[in-house]
Structure formats: structure tokens, C-alpha cells
Amino acid sequence: RMATDLTTTACPRCGADIPNGARFCPSCGLSLVAEPRSERRVVTVLFGDLTGFTELSERLDAEEVKSIVDRAFEGLAEVVTLYGGRVDKIVGDEIMAVFGAPQAHEDDPERTVRCALEMQRQLQTYSHQLERERGVQLGMRIGVNTGEVVAGLVGGADSYSIIGDAVNAGKRIESAARANEVIVGEKTYLETSGAIEYRPHEPIVAKGKAEPLAVWEAVAERALPGEHMHRLEAPLIGREEEVALLDSLADIVRRDRRTAVATLLGAAGMGKSRLADDFSWRMSSQGVSVFAGRSLPYGTASPSFAVEEMVRAALEIEPGEQHDAALARAGERIAQLGLIADADRLLSLAGLRERIAADSLNAAAALFGAIAAERGLVVLVFHELHWAEDSLLSFVGSLVESARETPLFVLCLARPELLDRSPNWTGRPGSLVHVLESLPREHAAQLLDALVGQRSIHPAVRESVLERAGGNPFFIEELVRLLLDKGGLPASNALDVATAVPGTVQAVVSARLDALPPDAKRIVQTASVIGEEFWVGALARLEPDLGPAMIEAALRELADRELVEPVDHAALTGERAWRFRQALVREVAYASVPKQVRARLHSSLGAWLEETVRDTDLERDSADLIAHHYERAARLAAEVGLALPSAREKAREYLERAGDLAIGMDAAAAAAEFFERSLEFARDDDDLLHLRLHLGEALVGCWRPIEAERHLNDALATARHIGERPAEAKALRLLGDLSRMQGNIDTGRKLLDEALELARQVGDAREEAEGLRSHGLFDLFQGRLSSAPVWFQRSLARFREIGERRGEAWNLVNLGWVDLLLGRLDESNDYLEDALQIFSDLGDAEGAGWCLGLRAWVLLFQGKLADAEALQHQIDGMIMQAMRPTPRGMGSFGWAIGRICLALIALDRAQLAQTEELARQGLAVFEESNAVWGLAMARFPLGIAQALRLELDEARETFREATKVAEQSSDPMVKALVAYGVAMVEFFSLNFDEAERRVEQSMALTEGTGVSWISDVPGRTMRGLILHEKGRLEEALACVKDLAPNEPGIYEEARAASVQAEILCDLGRFDEAEQAARRGMEEAGEDVCGSAMCHRALAHVMELKGDPAGAERLVRAELDILVNTDWDEERVRALALLARVLDEQGRHDESWVATDEAQGLVRRFPQGPWTSKLEALLTA
């Protein structure tokens, strides 16, 4: 409301009368003094210390010394201000300057180093003057360092300053410099090395530092500000409409011979320069003259610098050209264009003469117009126009009027703040303004994939980059650059790297935040504590001093600046919600809030959330969110010595609630995270035992055995010490499960027996049911498929007795798994269908994911590769969604099994590189958990792919490791698959006797186990190949004939049919061979390998039957099948056959082409016996 008289003002919060000059509202206590809010900031600090000062003091009067030093520091302070820094203090002969506080710029480290170099140049000039006038010299040593500080009213001072280790390190760096040197710290160097030339410098030993500081000496600027960005290679993506728009405008300008101005507006990183560079390249390739210039944000350049760049290019002056040569070249060009009257002004703009007139820009317009008339079109590109002086803006705006009849296309690139300075910019005749928005997710994903290229990127890392960048192309590029710099593509720490904020992005976002009005900046910082989505009600609770009207005004300001946007459907029912448009903006804003402030805000927010969701449908599902805020409050308070005991207790309470909820949903990885975080807040030893058991169970559930074993052993010892027998039984069972996972068979069985007996003694029915299932899993993973279902059925019955549906469902999954391994695919599907129904009723996404995952394997065994792949990708999406709040581990057992399924699909499709990549992804997850079964299984498709690529040394090592872990697993199926892989390696090494021994071993391992179908077809086929090579044709034929069609398996019968056809050919039984090959082609289905082999076998039959044309058609069909594969060994054999049948038709030139292509492929193979065999085949 209005104040009641002229001697008072109204309080902005409560409206009460406030006497003029009051510092606080007498009614509500609102502070009326605008003090800078303390912040955490990344700054670059500069320390400079005059050298020669002592000698100066000894030789001259104190007043004269003061005058000399004052004059020196006045000039240096002006340089600091010119480059956008702030002089923090000048004490004696030292100066300290800060860049990035209180106002950040997107290039503060670079500004600081440029400023330091300019300071040295100016001081040297001043020193030469002093030497001439007074016979004394002055120098300066400068140290520069970048790092995080706290900025504000530090230490009770009444002036703004900074404090932090980065400041202390900066001073140490300066002390180590010599006179006239600029020495910088590591972070400054890393963020400026593209713009500044450095030379190596010895690390410095700094007081208080455990390790020497890495430093570099700055030598000179490499380029103008803004010119040093090095893009990663990627095409222009998602800007097709803008490309078409610029091309159309250029065509109109050329056709109508009139000037047009197009302005591309966009926030930093939206790709304005990238789009302009692409347009400029296209125009230049068409013979159009394109002249570009940029406005500089700081430094000593003239206001018309951008036009001066263009004039030099238009006059064909080469960079670094000698003055006289440049002058002659420019004069000749001016004369050619008929601009003699403007010569002096143009030469002055080109830097070849002193500036002689204020209207030189008019001469530039004449120059561009003359070239446009000569060439038919000229394009002028003005970069960073938002930094331009008013005189340059007026010049650009006047071009439409002054050159109306000239084919001149003026392209302006600027940020939206240009319109704050020049609101009428959009209304000029002949002008167009287009705003570049963030890329849609689809295009952002395409850009990310293009930047990553052929490198592997984990789906969770990819999702993190896309979410955090929010469609900003620059943010995407810098996040990928950080991953590449840190070795995160791929790497075990990739997700940790992907959650870091690149320094370049931090600087850009900080500059945008510092440009906000104070209230808007405060709201964006507070909102960052709330989360990606934030609620107006929460802001009102956390910022009571601002009031509803001020909060609404701040939100509108943030929306206008495209930092936040409203949310249609809030996560909290009944609350008005907003969200950050880019997660990186929120992260930078959050990092700027001091930890004490953060702690209090998180604690207050936790209390607000409790009140808001209490007695609502959201109460149960909000436990993890409330836990997060109380935990953050407690941890931050501990870091800064702030007492918040209630936050600790609330953190423990809600972390357990969240963990229990996750366990109830079978989200074991999420539960493990919650319980692990809760340990820190345990009330006492009994409570710690309780939490450790929960944590151990979750860790076993998500296959993290090493951590699980440590926590469960601690829990077991505690339970025995205090006589807590139910807890002891549970710990024993979980340790037994761990032993099974790690291949410790005897120990595991003993622990499970002990646990089951103890559960029965104490009458714990649920623990008894769990123990029965654990025994079943033990037999399942040892390949005891007759006894495993007995345990599962007993466990199933017990779970049904106690009404535990989730336990019932998991036993159905396990029974389905057993039938899958036994090849009873219909029965397996029935069990999985029943389990899926229960999990769906319970809302259990992880359980449902396991059902679908096993279904994918059923489809694989049925030869339905496309269906299996589609289902597996659906499951991937479910797993990624479940993993999002729990980044640790970056994977799960189910996800890793899915990699093996996809690897086997890729193997059937002869996509060998993809097979290797998928197998390695699964292997990496199994290595994290030391799961021996998975370690062996993942190596099977990996080793087979290596063998088919004739990388026999690598394949041999892969199967050596696989054999070692397969023995630990004791699973006959896994051991049989590995033995088969070894046989294949020996076969390609021409060690046929050893290969035969190994394949017989593979088949013997599964005999009588119920899973012999897994090794029977591939084993008999491999043995047939071996005997064929050894010339024992009848024995070979006996191996591969009479195979039952359409048996389930991961090895299709088509390949056996192709081998049978080849053997029959060698026996001269061509009709039977043809029948076998055609049968194999019909049975191949989606099996690319089998289809290709059968085509080649039938082509061979046709050749032998005297039909080379028919053979040619078949072999060309095979080559078409192999187009999307990288099975080059088979491609060579097909090309060799093609060359032969072309020769038989008298088409010798074509035959040589086929042979040459095959020889090129063979040259890429590693040297070895099979490679030599292929070379001999081509020679023959």
C-alpha cells in the first residue's frame, strides 16, 4: 500500500509505515539494506607485485616514490576495469584483482590472462619512461589462478571481497614468478590454452600445499577474444529451416539487387556462429564474397573493429602482410573499384594510415556496395553484435537505407540483450529477426551421436548428457568434450564425468545469472535447491522476505530470459510448478549458494514437503524426495559445523522408508543406495545391525557381492554377539547367495543349510521360504535342472501359505528360467506369463523386467531375432528409468544379461563388431560384481566374434579367461559353450585334432543334464567341419545328417545343412547336396550366418552341376545378404567362388575385380594359418 505521509515509506512485505532512513521494518523486521548475498563462485584472481620498488625507495624521496607508484597503479587499475575485472585491493607495492565476482563473464580466466599481459606491456612502457626521466626501472611479477571461493562481506568487513584456497594459491603462484612474468595455475591454463600461448614452467613448491603446484608461463595472445573455439567434428543438425531461410534470403537479395538485414538472436551456445559459418561456406563456394567481423567484449580495440576486419578482407590484405605491400595492394584494389575519393578513409579503417575522419564508416559502406555491384552479391556477417558500440549499431541499421539498391546481405548474430539496448531493431524496413531456440530432443540426440561418432557411450551417460544440456548445442558439445578429455567414452567412471559441469559451461551460465535483477537471481538460486521442478509454495516458505508479488515478478523475469518455464502437471498435486529449461543452469545456480544457506534451505524444504504430502496419496511415494533434502541438510551442516540435529534424525527415518519402498518394488539397486546412505545416521548399534541387513539384502539383489559381503559379515558378527537369531539366519542366507554368485560352491551350500535350519528353529516362515528359493538358485546356476525346480516348488508353496505374492512371482520366474534352459519354451512362457501378471498387479517394474527379459531369450531360441531385439530394447528403457535415481554401478545384472542376448542376436546377424561391443558392455557390469556365471557367459559371444574375425590370439585369451571362471560357476551349459568356443579357435588355427577333442568335450559336458540341445547342433556341426577338413567325409556326413528341424537353440540348423551340402558335394552326391542347401535356406529364417552359408553351398552345387550362371546368381545373393555385416572371412569365400564362376563364363575382367576385392579384405586379416588358407584359395 501507499505510505501515509512524505516522511515514511511503505514496507514492501507487510505494508507498514517505515520512517525514512530506517534499516529495518519496525513491524515485520524486513531488512531494508541491500547487502550483497554471500555466494560460492568460480573466480580468477590476479596478484601483481612491483619489482624494483626497494631500489626506487632507496634512491628517491618518499613522496616521489608514492607519486610514481600511484601513477603505475592508476594505469594498471584502468586495465583491470577495461578487461572486466575488479580491483580488490592495492596494498603497498601489490595489487589484487578479481575476475568473476560480483559479475561473472563467460571467459573470466581468459580475460584475466589477457589483462595480465596488457598490464605487463603498459608497465614496461612506463618503466622505459621512468628510466629516461629518473634513471630507475619498475617491473612486475604476476600470478593468476582460477578456483572456487566464497564472495561477499567476508570476515565482518563492510566491503565486498573473496576468500578461499584459490586466493591463497594465486598469491603463492605470484611469489614464484620472476620480474615481468605472468604465471598461471593449472585450471587457468586448461581453460585458456586455446586462446593464450604458454611455455612450460617448473612446478612450484607452495607453503601449505602437500603437492607442488603445476604452473605455466603466459607468453602472448594467440587470437582475438572469441576466435579460439575448437569445435568437435559434427554436421549442422536441427537447423534445416534456418538454413533454408538464409539461402532463400540470399537468393532474393541477388535477384532483386537490394539490401536485406537478417538478425539471428539466441542465448549463448544456441549455434548462431555455427549456422553463420555454414552459410558463409556455402556462399563462398558459390563465388560470393563473404566478409566477417566481430565485436569484442573488452580490450583496447576501436568501436568500429568489426568493420575494420571486413575492410581489410575486402581490400585483400593478408594477415601479417608487410605494411608497404599491404598499402600497395589496398591502393590498387581501391582504384579498381573507383573509390579514389574514399581512399584515405578506407586505408585508415584498414589500419594503414592514421584515422583522419569521423565518417570513415560511410566509406566502408561504399566499399561493400562497390564489390556487391561487381560480384552480384556480398554477404557481411557481424558476430557478437550485442557487444557492439552504439555507433556500429547505427551503421549496421543504416545499411538498408544507404545501400537500398545494392545486393548486400547483412547477417547479424547477437544475444537477446541486443533488443534491450535497441528495442526498434526488429522494426527496421528490409530486416528480419529470427530467434534460435533450443534443439528438440530428437535433434539433440542426433547431435550427441554425431559428436560421439564410433565411440561407445553407455545409455545412462547418453541420457544424462541430453537431460542436462536441455537442447543447447554448445552445452552438448562441451559435455562430450569433457567426457573425451577425462577418458569417459567409454570408461567405468563415465557417469561421474557426465555429471560434472565443464568450466566453459559454468562460465556461460554464471554470466547469465549475474545479469539478473537481484530478486530474480535470489529466486533462481533458491529454486535450484528445490530441484529441477520447483513449486511456488515452496519458494514462499523458503523466501518469506520476498512475498508473493515479488516471487511472481521474479519468475516472470526468469521465464522471459528463458531460464525457467511453467509446468502443466506438477509432481505435487495442488501446487503451481515451474522447472529449469536446462539442468545445467540449475546445477550452476545451486553451486553458487553457500553451504550454510543450502543446509538451512534443504531442511526447511524437507519440513514443507512433509506438511504438504501428509495424509495424501503422495505421502508414500515422496519418501525418497524428503529423504534427499534432509540428508543434504545434514551432510552440508556437518561440512560447515552447523548444528541441525533434527535433520539427521529425519534423514535416517526417510532413507529407511525409501529403501523399504524400493525393496517392496524389487528395485534393489535403488534400495541399496538408500540403505547405504542411512548408515551414517544410525542411532545405535542395534539400529546399525538393522540397517546393515537391509543393505546387504539389497546389495545381493543388485549383484554387488564385494560390498555385500563386507556389510553382511559385520551384521552376522553383531547378530551373534547380541543373540539376534532371526537376523543371524538372514545374514547366513545372504552370505550363502553371495558364495554361489562367486563360485564358492561348498561354502555357499553349507551357509544355506545352516540358514534354513535356523529359520525353521525360530519359526520365521518368510525366511524359510527365501532359504528354499536360494537352494533352488544354487542348483540352477550349477546346471542341476532336475533338482532346482523341486526347491522352487517348495518355496512357491511356502510363499503362498504366508500370502507373499512377490515371493510367489519370483519362484515362477525361476521355474520359467529352468524350462527355458531345458528347451521347454512353451512351458517357460506359461510360468513367465503368470509371474508377469503378479508383478504387474504389484506395480513391480523390476520383476516385470525380468519376465520380459527371459521372454526375449525365448524369442532368441525360437529364432525370432527382431522380436527378441525389440523386446530387449523395451526392457533397456525400463532399466534406465529405474536406474536414473541411482547412478552408482551404471548397470545391473538384468541389464548385463540383456547385453548377452543382444550380442547373440548381433552374432546371428554376422555383425561382429557390434557383438564385441555389446558383449564387452555386459562383461564390464559382471566384472563390477565378480559374478562368475556372467563373466563366462559374456565372453562366449565376444570370443566367437573375435574368432570369426580371425583375431585368434585375442579369441584364445578371451576363452582362456572364460574357461577359468566357467570352472568356478560349475554350470555345465556355460562350460560347454566355452569349450565349443575353444574348439572354434583351434579349428581356425588348423589344429584339427585339438579342435575335435574340445568339441567332444563340449558335447559331453551337457550329456544327461537336460540342456544337451544347447551343445548338440553346434557340436555336431563343428565336428563335421573338422572331419571334412581331415578328409574323413563319411564320418563327417554322419555328424550332420538327421538333425531334428526347428529345435530351440542359439545355433540354427541352417549352418549344419550348409556343412552337409559341402560334404555331399565332395562325395559327388550333387542332388542330395542341393536338397540339403535348399532346406537350410528355408530353415534359416533370420539367421544371417546360416542363410549366407547355405547360399554359398548351393552356389557351389550349381557350379559343380555345370550351371555357372545359376551359381553366380546365388553367390551374388549371398553378397547382398552380407552387405550389412562385417563377416569378411565369409565375404572372401563368397568372392572367391564368384571369381571362379565368372571365369567359367569367360568374364575374366569381372573375375579379377572380385579377386582383387577379396585380396584387399584378406590383407586386413591378422597373419595366421587360416589367413594363409584364404590366400591360397584366391591364388587357386
What is the tens place of the pLDDT at every residue in 183-217?
999 999 999 988 999 999 999 988 778 889 999 99
Contacts of residue 555, defined as CB under 8 A and 6 or more positions apart, other chains included, come to 523, 536, 564, 578
Helix axes 668-678, 645-664, angle to 10 degrees: 160
- Dihedral sign for Cα atoms in the order 198, 199, 203, 206: negative
45, 114: one domain? yes
Q: CB–CB of 85/48 below 8 Å?
A: no
Q: How many residues does the chain have?
A: 1180
403, 514: one domain? no
Residue 884 pLDDT level (bands cut at 50, 70, 90): very low
* Residue 208 confidence (pLDDT): 77
* Residue 879 confidence (pLDDT): 61
Q: What is the DSSP string of 980-1001?
A: HHHHHHHHHTT-HHHHHHHHHH
29, 43: one domain? no
Q: CB–CB of 896/851 below 8 Å?
A: no
Residue 2 pLDDT level (bands cut at 50, 70, 90): very low
Residue 228 pLDDT level (bands cut at 50, 70, 90): low
Question: Which residue, among 646, 721, 653, 738, has the nearest Cα to 687 in the 3D structure?
Answer: 653
Helix axes 503-514, 473-485, angle to 10 degrees: 140
Q: Is 1049's pLDDT higher than 70?
A: no
Q: CB–CB of 923/903 below 8 Å?
A: no
CATH number for the domain that contains residue 547: 1.10.10.10
Alpha-carbon gap, residue 755 to 767, rounded angstroms: 9
What is the tens place of the pLDDT at every residue in 380-403?
999 999 888 888 888 888 887 776
In a domain, 1025, yes or no: no
Least confident of 216-230, 793-807, 829-843: 216-230
* Residue 449 confidence (pLDDT): 87
Q: CB–CB of 931/892 below 8 Å?
A: no
Alpha-carbon gap, residue 328 to 330, rounded angstroms: 6
| Among 593, 626, 661, residue at a domain's last position | 593
In a domain, 314, yes or no: yes
In a domain, 100, yes or no: yes
What is the grid cell recorded at 1071?
542332388
Over residues 971-996, mean pLDDT: 93
Per DSSP bridges, beta strands 182-185 and 139-153 are parallel
Over residues 1148-1177, mean pLDDT: 93
Q: Is 1036's pLDDT higher than 80?
A: yes
What is the tens place of the pLDDT at every residue in 305-360?
889 899 999 999 887 788 888 899 889 998 998 889 888 888 888 888 876 566 78
What is the grid cell recorded at 485?
578429455
Give the total number of structural domains in the chain. Answer: 4
Q: Is 883's pLDDT higher than 50?
A: no
Alpha-carbon gap, residue 702 to 684, rounded angstroms: 27
Q: What is the DSSP string of 46-82?
A: EEEEEESHHHHHHHS-HHHHHHHHHHHHHHHHHHHHH
Q: In what order do the strands lie in the sheet with 564-567?
A: 533-535, 577-580, 564-567
Alpha-carbon gap, residue 681 to 650, rounded angstroms: 9
Q: CB–CB of 416/264 below 8 Å?
A: no
Over residues 1156-1160, mean pLDDT: 94
201, 311: one domain? no
* Residue 621 confidence (pLDDT): 83
What is the grid cell recorded at 39?
555466494
55, 178: one domain? yes
* Residue 356 confidence (pLDDT): 52
In a domain, 89, yes or no: yes
The model's pTM is 0.67
In a domain, 199, yes or no: yes
* Residue 890 confidence (pLDDT): 33
What is the tens place of the pLDDT at every residue in 460-493?
788 888 888 888 888 888 888 777 766 555 544 4
DSSP state of 709: H
Q: Is 120's pLDDT higher than 90?
A: yes
End-to-end CA distance of the chain: 101
SS (H, E, C) 532-591: CEEEHHHHHHHCCCCHHHHHHHHHHHHHHCCCEEEECCCCCCCCCEEEECCHHHHHHHHH
What is the tens place of the pLDDT at every residue in 988-1005?
999 999 999 999 999 998
| Among 535, 562, 593, residue at a domain's last position | 593
What is the tens place of the pLDDT at every residue in 403-457?
678 899 999 999 888 888 888 776 666 678 899 999 999 998 888 888 888 777 7
Beta bridge partners of 261: 410, 431
Alpha-carbon gap, residue 360 to 304, rounded angstroms: 9
What is the grid cell recorded at 813?
520366474
Average pLDDT score over the chain? 87
* Residue 550 confidence (pLDDT): 95
14, 141: one domain? no
CATH number for the domain that contains residue 105: 3.30.70.1230
Q: Is 672's pLDDT higher than 80?
A: yes
* Residue 18 confidence (pLDDT): 72
In a domain, 806, yes or no: no
Alpha-carbon gap, residue 286 to 681, rounded angstroms: 69
Which amino acid, residue 61?
A: D
Segment of 17-21, 929-933, 994-998 carrying the highest mean pLDDT? 994-998
198, 303: one domain? no
Alpha-carbon gap, residue 200 to 319, rounded angstroms: 28
Q: Is 252's pLDDT higher than 80?
A: yes
In three-state secondary structure terms, 911 is: coil
Q: CB–CB of 138/125 below 8 Å?
A: no
Determine if the peptide bond prior to 490 is cis (ω within 30°): yes
- Dihedral sign for Cα atoms in the order 802, 803, 807, 811: positive
Q: What percent of the chain has pLDDT over 90?
A: 55
Per DSSP bridges, beta strands 431-435 and 260-265 are parallel
283, 407: one domain? yes
CB atoms within 10 A of CB 829: 18
CA 897 and chain centroid, separation: 23
* Residue 661 confidence (pLDDT): 86
2, 122: one domain? no
296, 151: one domain? no
Question: Which residue, among 972, 987, 907, 909, has the nearest Cα to 936 in the 3D structure?
Answer: 972
| Among 399, 417, 435, residue at a domain's last position | 417
Which amino acid, residue 280?
A: S
DSSP state of 268: T
Integer CA distances (angstroms), 1106 to 94, 1144, 1147, in order: 97, 9, 16
Cβ neighbourhood burial of 579 (10 Å; 0-12, 13-18, 19+): middle
Q: CB–CB of 196/270 below 8 Å?
A: no
CB atoms within 10 A of CB 1074: 19
Alpha-carbon gap, residue 1135 to 664, rounded angstroms: 58
Integer CA distances (angstroms), 1056 to 1007, 1016, 1017, 1089, in order: 20, 11, 7, 11
Alpha-carbon gap, residue 1073 to 1079, rounded angstroms: 10
Q: Is 543's pLDDT higher than 90?
A: yes
Per DSSP bridges, beta strands 139-153 and 39-51 are antiparallel
In a domain, 935, yes or no: no
- State the residue for C-alpha cell 533458491: 526
202, 324: one domain? no
In a domain, 210, yes or no: yes
Over residues 134-154, mean pLDDT: 90
Residue 17 pLDDT level (bands cut at 50, 70, 90): confident
> Range of 24's domain?
1-33
What is the tens place of the pLDDT at every residue in 1089-1143?
999 999 999 999 999 999 999 999 999 999 999 999 999 999 999 999 999 999 9
Q: Is 740's pLDDT higher than 90?
A: no
1, 95: one domain? no
* Region class of 19: left (phi > 0), else alpha (psi between -120 and 50), else beta: beta
Q: Where are the alpha helices (DSSP H) in 350-421?
A: 360-375, 390-402, 417-421
What is the tens place of the pLDDT at every residue in 1059-1068?
999 999 999 9
Beta bridge partners of 182: 142
Least confident of 129-133, 635-639, 815-819, 892-896: 892-896
